[in-house]
Amino acid sequence: MPRYALKIEYDGAPFCGWQRQPELTTVQGAIETALRALEPDCEGIQGAGRTDTGVHATGQVAHVDMAKEWDSFRLGEALNFHLRNQGVAIISCAQMPDDFHARFSALERQYTFRLFSRRASLTFDKGTMWQIKHELDLRAMQAGATYLVGKHDFTTFRSSICQALSPLKTLDELRVEQIRHMDGVETRFHIRARSFLHNQVRSFVGTLERVGAGSWQPEDVKVALKAKDRAACGPVCPPHGLYLSAVKYPHNPFAPTPNLR
């Protein structure tokens, strides 16, 4: 059975997360319904990672085994036809070797969190960013973020319902940037790691927002980390500013094929 990798983007607002759940609208469920319109016996897809209710993606990756061989472009187009108006799009599709696995072959996941500072309510960007009314100190947040990079016991930043076997994770990057717009300041948090604990990214951002607002000092992040206690964490920020932005593999499944002459 030929295997295909799918690069997927979606608006998480209408969905109860990525993972298929009986009687709930999920991203995985929507894509599998589209696949079964093409091949009724399709077993479904395997995603690179799960996203919670309301979380978006610009670079989710999944793989699927099809009964017949499809032209990759036509498979992506056919899926997009059935996914139209659902807030999900197949950005790219590529045929892969049988040993490719969207989850287990992944080397790294990258998340981006978007936050916007302004007093007036958001209109066009509502639901795509977390809005606050105060500005944030970029240097303070970046200073606090440095304590989180590396291999640590992240119990403090782990949901109480997290199913991971261990709280030990290695965080490769937590970079904060600010973009000044005419009507406010957008803060973006760029986070990279091989894997994450449940609510880990949103716990990081909620904690660093308190640092940027001046309620915490940067060193307080280190104290919270060392406490290994969920009660020491800052507030968990809302999901609608979070994006699964990329999944890295040993070889890019969607790299353009060289034009050989």
Residue from 11, 52, 65, 153 carrying the catalytic annotation? 52
Query: For residues 8 and 94, what is the distance between their CA atoms, to the nearest angstrom?
Result: 12
| Whether the Cβ atoms of residue 65 and residue 2 lie closer than 8 Å to each other | yes
What is the β-pairing status of strands 56-65 and 242-248?
A: parallel
Give the count of beta carbons closer than 10 Å to the beta carbon of residue 227.
13
Q: Is 153 a catalytic residue?
A: no
| Whether the Cβ atoms of residue 88 and residue 56 lie closer than 8 Å to each other | no
Six-digit token pair at 134?
């105060």
| Whether the Cβ atoms of residue 216 and residue 210 lie closer than 8 Å to each other | yes
Return the beta strands (E) in the chain as ranges.
Answer: 3-10, 45-47, 56-65, 88-96, 108-117, 130-132, 150-153, 168-181, 184-193, 242-248
CB burial of 246-259 (b: ≥16 within 10 Å; e: otherwise) equals bbebeeebeeeeee
DSSP character for 183? T
Six-digit token pair at 180?
């000044």
| Whether the Cβ atoms of residue 5 and residue 93 lie closer than 8 Å to each other | yes
Which residues neighbour 231 within 8 Å (Cβ) at sequence distance 6 or greater?
A: none
What is the rounded end-to-end Cα distance, in angstroms, of the chain?
30
Known catalytic residues? 52
